[in-house]
């Protein structure tokens, strides 16, 4: 079946512009995660959705970052007034994990590479 | 809070040689441990995980990892690598009592297998 997809695959934007990154999880997966990977660093957790709710937003780095999920499916990560330090690969993952269990496998998308000039 | 350290950013190795990718973690609570692999131009995929029981865990593609609680390590090994094992490998942990399942990742190790 189809895996996790993300769009766009690459995004180049100018400092100060807003960007939207999209994630389509595996159908039926209730849990959805966003992570960020900056150059030379590991993946950083950003936000966790269970259904359409986000019980854990602890990783969002500033109030310029927001995310939503609709229909227990598609999620959008929005970055307002982008800064150069926002340049990174943004990864989405989904999991059939209705209880937020800590040992369920996460399935990752290919990522969106964001470059802020 | 947890943290994960992958001690080598790059590991070059010749085909058919053994390899070990090192991972150490720090946590004040019990954790579950994972290794994920990212092949070029693909998303991360689960290689193996340690939940409980035997400390030696076998994964896909002939990889295995050993959990060492006293040394807080979870090193990944393969006795004989192939060119196709060239990829980036990520060690990760999740909090035993987590109700979100979020993962804390290391910085990644690039395995370069040479012919």
What is the per-residue pLDDT across A9-37, written as a single tens digit (0 to 9) for each?
999 999 999 999 999 999 999 999 999 99
**pLDDT for position A105:** 87
Nearest alpha carbon to residue A34 among A19, A20, A44: A44
- Comparing alpha-carbon positions, the chain A residue that sits nearest to B41 is A110
Three-class SS of residue A103?
coil
Nearest-neighbour CA in chain B from A35: distance (Å): 9
CB atoms within 10 A of CB B61: 13
Radius of gyration of chain B (CA): 14
Inter-chain CB proximity A108 and B44 less than 8 Å: yes
Q: Which of B36, B46, B94 sits opposite A102 (nearest CB)?
A: B94
User: With 60 as the cut, is the pLDDT of residue A52 above it?
Assistant: yes
**pLDDT for position B28:** 83
- Chain B hits for A50, CB-CB cut-off 8 Å, are 100
Q: Which of B90, B103, B106 sits opposite A45 (nearest CB)?
A: B103
- Comparing alpha-carbon positions, the chain B residue that sits nearest to A43 is B105
Q: Which of A42, A99, A104 sits opposite B107 (nearest CB)?
A: A42
Least trusted range by pLDDT, from A90-94, A110-114, B94-98: B94-98
**Cα separation of B100 and A55, whole Å?**
8
Question: Do the beta carbons of residue B68 and residue B55 sit within 8 Å?
Answer: yes
User: With 70 as the cut, is the pLDDT of residue A1 above it?
Assistant: no
Residue A97: pLDDT band (50, 70, 90) is confident
Q: Which two tokens stand for residue A51?
A: 């259904």
**Cα separation of A5 and A110, whole Å?**
7
Give helix then strand counts, H and E, for chain A: 0, 11
pLDDT digits (tens, 9 = 90+) for B10-67: 999 999 999 999 999 998 888 899 999 999 888 899 999 998 888 899 999 999 999 9
Question: Do the beta carbons of residue B65 and residue B6 sit within 8 Å?
Answer: no
Question: Do the beta carbons of residue B81 and residue B16 sit within 8 Å?
Answer: yes
Q: Is the dihedral of CA B3, B7, B10, B16 positive or negative?
A: negative
User: With 90 as the cut, is the pLDDT of residue B108 above it?
Assistant: yes
Nearest alpha carbon to residue A66 among A86, A84, A46: A46
Question: Do the beta carbons of residue B45 and residue B111 sit within 8 Å?
Answer: no
* Residue B46 in contact with partner chain A when CB distance is under 8 A: yes
* Residue B98 in contact with partner chain A when CB distance is under 8 A: yes
Nearest alpha carbon to residue B103 among A21, A87, A111, A47: A47
pLDDT digits (tens, 9 = 90+) for A61-89: 999 999 999 988 999 999 999 999 999 99
């Amino acid at each position: 079946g189809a895996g996790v997809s993300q769009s766009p695959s690459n995004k180049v934007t100018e400092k100060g512009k807003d960007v939207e990154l999209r994630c389509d999880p595996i159908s039926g997966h209730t849990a959805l995660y966003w992570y960020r990977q900056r150059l030379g660093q590991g993946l950083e957790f950003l936000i966790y959705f269970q259904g359409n709710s986000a019980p854990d937003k602890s990783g969002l780095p500033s109030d310029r970052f927001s995310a939503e999920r609709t229909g227990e499916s598609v999620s959008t990560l929005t970055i307002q007034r982008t800064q150069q330090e926002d340049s990174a690969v943004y990864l989405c993952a989904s999991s059939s994990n209705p209880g937020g269990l800590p040992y369920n496998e996460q399935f990752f998308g290919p990522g969106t590479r964001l470059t802020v000039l | 809070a947890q943290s994960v350290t992958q001690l080598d950013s790059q590991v070059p190795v010749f085909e058919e040689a053994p390899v070990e990718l090192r991972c150490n973690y720090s946590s004040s609570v019990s954790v579950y441990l994972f290794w994920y692999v990212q092949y070029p131009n693909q998303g991360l995929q689960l290689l193996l995980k340690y939940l409980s029981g035997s400390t030696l865990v076998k994964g896909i593609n002939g990889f295995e990892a050993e959990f060492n609680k006293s040394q807080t390590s979870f090193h990944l090994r393969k006795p004989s690598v192939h060119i196709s094992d060239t990829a980036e490998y990520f060690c990760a942990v999740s909090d035993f009592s987590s109700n979100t399942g979020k993962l804390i990742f290391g910085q990644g190790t690039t395995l370069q297998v040479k012919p």
